[in-house]
Structure 1
Amino acid sequence: MNHVKALLIKGIMTLAILYLILSLGFGISFINVLIITLVLGAISYILGDLYILPKKTNMVATMADLGVTFVVVWLLGIALTGMEAATMAEVAAISAIVIAIGEYLFHFYILRKDLGANKRLKASSSH
């Protein structure tokens, strides 16, 4: 049940951020934002939140999330919208930076709930 709650929190945060940036800022349709959110959420939750975060620091996991967000938004954005690669890279960079800020804060929740792969609570060493 804790994973469901965490995924809902992450999904709502990611959808809100991507909607503001991609839809309102760059005119990308809501359905495409939703698809990007679902793919990004699945990849980054497993890789960043459950695998990297428990083994490293919050900052390392946040940087991994930043990279994953950039790649997913950039590649899916190109595939779904046909937007020029350079323009989509700019959109993806903005999205990745804002989502990384949210992920940094979200990681404290993950650590507090002890949801990671090796179940180590590292909140005190997560700067």
Structure 2
Amino acid sequence: MKHAQYLGAKIIGFAALLFLFLGVGYGLSFGSVFLVALVLSIISYFIGDLLILRRANNLMATLSDFVLALVVIYFMVAGLTLTVGDELFTAALLSAVAVAVFEYIFHKYVATSGLYETKGKKERKLNLSTEASEELFPYDEKDRK
């Protein structure tokens, strides 16, 4: 159930951000913007949040989401419409930066919500301390004879 809530929040957040940048700024229709937001949020949730964020830190997941957003937005907007014109890369770059900022905050929220905690698994804690003693040898010279 948590996954559906997070994915829904991501879709709504992406749709709002992309509508501000692509819809208002570059004249894309709301349907096109929503389709880009839907595809981008599903791909970034499964790749960025469930795979990369679990194994890496927030910065690496955000950087991968930035690259993913830049590629997906660029190619989807190029395939959906030609109204953006020559500023297609600029539109994709600004939108990807906004998505990366949103993702950074979203990853912080997801990390504190407890979605990635191990349930039922016992965590192994290693005690890697060294042992020291005062003696140089384990026995006295008297005991040696």
Q: What CA deviation, in whole Å up to 9, does each residue of 1:4-56 have, x standing for no partner?
A: 11011111110100000000000001000011011101100000011000101
Counterpart residue number, 1:96: 96
Counterpart residue number, 1:26: 26
User: Computing the radius of gyration over CA atoms, which structure comes out larger, 1 or 2?
Assistant: 2
Find the residue that maps to 2:38 and give its secondary structure: helix
Higher helix residue share: 1
Residue 89 of structure 1, CA deviation: 1.1
Rounded Cα–Cα distance in structure 1 between residues aligned with 2:56 and 2:69: 19
Find the residue that maps to 1:110 and give its secondary structure: helix
Counterpart residue number, 1:74: 74
Rounded Cα–Cα distance in structure 2 between residues aligned with 1:64 and 1:86: 26
Q: What CA deviation, in whole Å up to 9, does each residue of 1:37-91 have, x standing for no partner?
A: 1110110000001100010110000000000000000000000012567521110
% identical equivalent positions: 36
Alignment pair present for 1:87 and 2:93? no
Change (3 A) 1:23 1:111: same
Counterpart residue number, 2:53: 53
- Residue 74 of structure 1 contacts residue 88 of structure 1 at CA under 8 Å; is this kept in 2? yes
* Structure 2 unpaired stretches of 5+: 119-145
- Residue 54 of structure 1 contacts residue 111 of structure 1 at CA under 8 Å; is this kept in 2? no
The TM-score normalised by the length of structure 1 is: 0.86
Matched to 1:82, the amino acid is L
Whose RCO is larger (CA < 8 A, sep 6+)? Answer: 1
- Residue 11 of structure 1 contacts residue 37 of structure 1 at CA under 8 Å; is this kept in 2? yes
